[in-house]
């Protein structure tokens, strides 16, 4: 039966050297599998079930080794030009980073970036020109051709090890620079929050997602946010809530909850035209 889950009871080999596997069909009420069953049913109904889906679920459940196996298995099955390959490399990179294998994490992310760069070379000229104009419009300053760069950068946010304290960040992803208020907004991905960090400050301030990682039924939580920008007209943040497959709007004025404006989307970054 498609979508069914069986519990493995035992495996034996008989005298004829034939393997006999005994399994029991699981039901919806089994406590330890309830989360898996509900998640798989949702994915099957939306026709999105694949090994990456199962890998993500295992990842959320803390089964990092199993998640990695599912991602690698899917990589072996996919053709090299499949658009999902780049995303799988990125998933594996984040898994490796979470387990402390930073060298391997860099290698996976480099593979993902190489595919993305290759795809950009073949992008539609109209889209490419639009993307270029957006990049030009968000530059903070025009850089003089005679500008000399310092060899060492200056830490302006975090810098106190990986963590979720107010002076720490955990695998930050996208940032937005608010030049009017000398403030940057950081998508602090692995702390499941958005941090506001003012110029010269030693600590940041959590302004969205203070309540740990959560699912899309909770409007006061974020789950691996990847990117953030400021909608100055509405004085709100637009957040790419990757783990919950949605884009949310969050008020900058003591907002306790976000409002979903785009749902069921595999979002990695956001931009506003």
The whole-number pLDDT of residue 118 equals 75
Q: Domain residues of the chain, as ranges?
A: 6-92, 159-263
Per residue in 127-181, pLDDT (tens digit) is 444 444 444 444 445 566 677 777 788 888 998 988 889 999 988 989 999 888 8
**CATH code of the domain made up of 159-263:** 2.40.10.500
pTM listed for this prediction: 0.50
Distances (CA, A) of 193 to 180, 184, 185, 257: 23, 14, 10, 12
Per residue in 37-65, pLDDT (tens digit) is 555 555 544 444 467 877 887 887 788 88
Rounded to an integer, what distance in angstroms lies between the CA atom of residue 126 and that of residue 170?
37
Q: How many helices and strands (H and E) does the chain possess?
A: 6, 10
Other CB atoms within 10 Å distance of the CB of residue 191: 26
Per residue in 217-268, pLDDT (tens digit) is 788 889 889 999 999 899 999 999 988 889 999 998 877 888 899 998 888 8
The whole-number pLDDT of residue 121 equals 55
Closest to 71 measured CA to CA, from 56, 60, 82: 56
Percent of the chain's residues with pLDDT above 90: 20
């Amino acid at each position: 039966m498609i979508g069914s889950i069986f519990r493995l009871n035992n495996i034996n080999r008989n005298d004829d050297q034939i393997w006999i596997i005994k399994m029991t069909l699981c039901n919806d009420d089994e406590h330890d599998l309830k989360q898996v069953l509900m998640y798989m049913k949702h994915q099957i109904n939306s026709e999105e079930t694949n090994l990456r889906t199962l890998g993500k679920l295992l990842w959320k459940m803390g089964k990092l080794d199993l998640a990695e196996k599912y991602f690698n298995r899917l990589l072996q099955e996919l053709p090299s030009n499949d658009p999902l390959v780049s995303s799988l490399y990125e998933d594996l990179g984040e898994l490796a980073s979470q387990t402390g294998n930073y060298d391997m994490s860099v290698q996976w992310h480099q593979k993902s970036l190489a595919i993305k760069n290759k795809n950009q070379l073949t992008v539609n000229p109209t889209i490419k020109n639009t993307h270029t104009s957006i990049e030009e419009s968000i530059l903070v300053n025009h850089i003089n051709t005679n500008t000399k760069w310092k060899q060492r950068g200056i830490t302006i946010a975090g810098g106190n090890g990986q963590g979720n304290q107010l002076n720490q960040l955990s695998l930050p992803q996208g940032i937005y620079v608010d030049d009017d208020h000398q403030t940057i907004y950081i998508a602090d991905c692995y702390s499941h929050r958005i941090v506001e960090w003012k110029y010269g400050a030693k600590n940041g301030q959590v302004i969205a997602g203070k309540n740990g990682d959560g699912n899309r039924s909770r409007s006061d939580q974020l789950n691996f946010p990847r990117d953030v920008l400021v909608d100055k007209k509405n004085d709100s943040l637009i957040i790419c809530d990757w783990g919950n497959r949605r884009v949310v709007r969050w008020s900058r004025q003591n907002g306790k909850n976000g409002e979903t404006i785009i749902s069921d989307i595999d979002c990695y970054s956001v931009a506003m035209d």
